[in-house]
Amino acid sequence: MSQDSSTAPIERATPEDLRERAALDRSTKLPVLFFLTSGLVWLLISCVLGLLASIKLHTPGFLDIGLLSGINWGRLQPAYFNALVYGWCFQAAMAVGLWMMARLCRQPLKNPLTLVVAGHFWNLGVTIGVLQILTGGQAPGDLLEFGRTAWLMLFASFALIVVWQVLMFASRPKGADYVTQLYIIGACFWFPWLFLTANVFTSPQTASGLHAAMTSAWYANGVLFLFLVPMAVGTATYLIPKIVGRPLHSYPLAIAGFWSLALFGGWTGLQKLIGGPLPTWMPAVSSAAQVLLLIPVLCVAANHFMTVRDRHDLVQTSPTLRFIFAGAVFYVISHVVAAFLALSPGLTQYTAAWDGLRFMLVYSYFSMTMFGAIYFILPRLTGCEWLSPGMIRVHFWANIYGGSPIGVFLIIGGIFQGNAMNVWSNGFGALTDMLHGAYIGATLGWVFVLAANLVFFFHFILIALRLGRRSERATLLTSAADHGPASVMITKGAEA
């Protein structure tokens, strides 16, 4: 990899470059806006479902009336989490991934309409799946609760996305190489493989019960650590140098981060079943791999931190960097927690701590990173700027004060839960009482998260409808007096 390849996304833009980027953005605009808009609708839906699920944990009688009585926690929990992961996270990842890939490969997106059609199928699949869960037809398996019909649609549309990404990558000009492409191609490689494996080995015709449960544990961990994590890392690695206005601190370190993820990621997942009736070495290997996943985290986090170095003041001003920075904090924390849970099955297995971890990973890390990316991308697609720094600030702080505690409450609550469950004289009433506080805290958090995302959605729609500010200058969070070199990068200049 040549030296200049590492600087590919941040080289000082000439007018031709800007024109080229504008053309690339025009080509991706339609599918990217489609995936982002429908993804955000799913985000709102999953926030409502998540809030309801959270309420049911401390007040099971809530909405236990008439026809709604069947929609209890056993349905709401998977409905919320699947809607969040497949409805919002995947669509955000596809949108941001397509946009970055076109930019990095300098390939305009061909036939964008096909991808919009694929997107409709994706949404149809998620809708069918979520409705099935809510009406009492969930399928067994972690993150596999959608039924067969839904999977078929999801797979067909994801396959199209993969083909488009690979085609762009394969036809990129010489030298247009950057580590983010590896993350995107990696995620597009791992997910279909995980997905097909899970579906083949859990389909009633072939499945053997214990093996199916094992495969689903492996799959669910894979979706998080081999799809969502690489997409978010790739996004941050693309955007941070752009905003700070300097190349990545170390390109080899970035490559090492990618390949260590590839090396260890596939081995994780079975730690969930420690103590179950499978050969002991299998969960043990997964636990070890989950701990080893701290290596890529170290590579990536150190690299990003060193890239920003003395410009951490930009976290104050740039909305994108602020969200990505907050995400990065949870990137590290959630991987440490994942390693801890893998090592403490006697304490934390089958407790709320696992839900806390997944929330942290999917929301506090992945989603925050994607919000950051949307703040960057949307003005470039629509040609107008975010209207209100105030709304951005509300979106940020409500997520920090509301969203982050949800994960923390559930993790700490789960540790107490596990500890108490290990004393046999504690009945489940005592356990329920003990978690009451944590669950109420989580509900409060959900209220904030829902409010934050409503504000964000409103803001997003205004910009998507091109009702934003017409300006050369990006919307920043503090007064625009002095932004150093960064403002050069954030300013769209001739791009508009």
Find the angle CA(268)-CA(274)-CA(278) to the nearest 5 degrees.
95
* Shorter beta-carbon distance to ligand HEC: residue 73 or 189: 73
User: For other proteins, which residue of 4, 11, 433, 482 counts as binding (CB under 8 A)?
Assistant: 433
- Residue 169 binding other proteins, by CB under 8 A: yes
User: For other proteins, which residue of 2, 14, 149, 208 counts as binding (CB under 8 A)?
Assistant: 208
Give the nearest distance from C-beta 106 to ligand HEC in angstroms.
51
* Shorter beta-carbon distance to ligand HEC: residue 66 or 429: 429
Give the nearest distance from C-beta 72 to ligand HEC in angstroms.
6
**Residue 191 carries which side chain, given as an amino acid letter?**
F
Residue whose C-alpha is closest to residue 167's, from 225, 235, 207, 109: 109
Q: How far is CA 52 from the centre of its chain?
A: 22
- Residue 284 binding other proteins, by CB under 8 A: no
Distance between CA 193 and CA 92 in Å, rounded? Answer: 20
Per rule CB under 8 A, count of chain residues that contact other proteins: 87
The site map against other proteins for 22-61 (x = CB under 8 A) is ----------------------------------xx--x-
Contact stretch for other proteins (CB under 8 A) within 238-246, 264-272, 325-333, 487-495: 264-272
Distance between CA 128 and CA 81 in Å, rounded? Answer: 15
Neighbours of 174 (CB within 10 A): 7
Give the nearest distance from C-beta 56 to ligand HEC in angstroms.
7
The site map against other proteins for 184-203 (x = CB under 8 A) is -xx--xx--x---x---xx-
Give the nearest distance from C-beta 280 to other proteins in angstroms.
9
* Shorter beta-carbon distance to ligand HEC: residue 49 or 315: 49
- Residue 73 binding ligand HEC, by CB under 6 A: yes
- Residue 63 binding other proteins, by CB under 8 A: no
Helix (H, G, I), strand (E, B) or coil at 425: coil
List, as one string, the DSSP characters of 146-214: S-HHHHHHHHHHHHHHHHHHHHHHHTPPTT---HHHHHHHHHHHHHHHHHHHHHHHHSTTT--HHHHHH
Give the nearest distance from C-beta 199 to ligand HEC in angstroms.
25
359-418 positions binding other proteins, by CB under 8 A: none
**Tokens standing for 338?**
């994942």
User: 230 near 252, Cβ under 8 Å?
Assistant: no
- Residue 276 binding other proteins, by CB under 8 A: yes
Helix (H, G, I), strand (E, B) or coil at 469: strand
- Residue 63 binding ligand HEC, by CB under 6 A: no
User: For other proteins, which residue of 94, 128, 273, 299 counts as binding (CB under 8 A)?
Assistant: 273
Helix (H, G, I), strand (E, B) or coil at 361: helix
What separation in angstroms does the CA of 338 have from each of 104, 172, 316, 414?
32, 37, 29, 13
User: 456 near 370, Cβ under 8 Å?
Assistant: no
* Shorter beta-carbon distance to ligand HEC: residue 74 or 147: 74
List, as one string, the DSSP characters of 277-321: SS-THHHHHHHHHHHHTHHHHHHHHHHHHHHHGGGTTHHHH-HHH
Give the nearest distance from C-beta 429 to ligand HEC in angstroms.
7
- Residue 213 binding other proteins, by CB under 8 A: yes
Contact stretch for other proteins (CB under 8 A) within 118-126, 240-248, 282-290, 463-471: 282-290
Contact stretch for ligand HEC (CB under 6 A) within 47-55, 72-80, 92-100, 246-254: 72-80
- Residue 62 binding ligand HEC, by CB under 6 A: no
- Residue 3 binding other proteins, by CB under 8 A: no
Give the nearest distance from C-beta 346 to other proteins in angstroms.
5
Query: 241: which residues sit within 8 A by CB, 6+ positions away?
Result: 7, 9, 10, 247, 248, 307
78-137 positions binding other proteins, by CB under 8 A: 78, 133, 136-137
Give the nearest distance from C-beta 137 to ligand HEC in angstroms.
13
Give the nearest distance from C-beta 354 to other proteins in angstroms.
7
**Which residues pair with residue 469 across a beta bridge?**
385
- Residue 424 binding other proteins, by CB under 8 A: yes
What is the CB-side half-sphere exposure of residue 111 using CA atoms within 13 A?
A: 11
User: For ligand HEC, which residue of 428, 470, 479, 481 counts as binding (CB under 6 A)?
Assistant: 428
* Shorter beta-carbon distance to ligand HEC: residue 4 or 64: 64
For residue 61, the 8-state DSSP code is T
Give the nearest distance from C-beta 256 to other proteins in angstroms.
13
**Residue 474 carries which side chain, given as an amino acid letter?**
A
User: For other proteins, which residue of 37, 127, 388, 426 counts as binding (CB under 8 A)?
Assistant: 426
- Residue 142 binding other proteins, by CB under 8 A: yes
- Residue 74 binding ligand HEC, by CB under 6 A: yes
- Dihedral over Cα of 54, 59, 63, 65: its sign: positive
Residue whose C-alpha is closest to residue 126's, from 155, 105, 102: 155
Neighbours of 9 (CB within 10 A): 19
- Residue 108 binding ligand HEC, by CB under 6 A: no
Query: 379: which residues sit within 8 A by CB, 6+ positions away?
Result: 385, 386, 463, 468, 474, 475, 492
Q: Contact positions toward ligand HEC, by CB under 6 A?
A: 72-74, 428
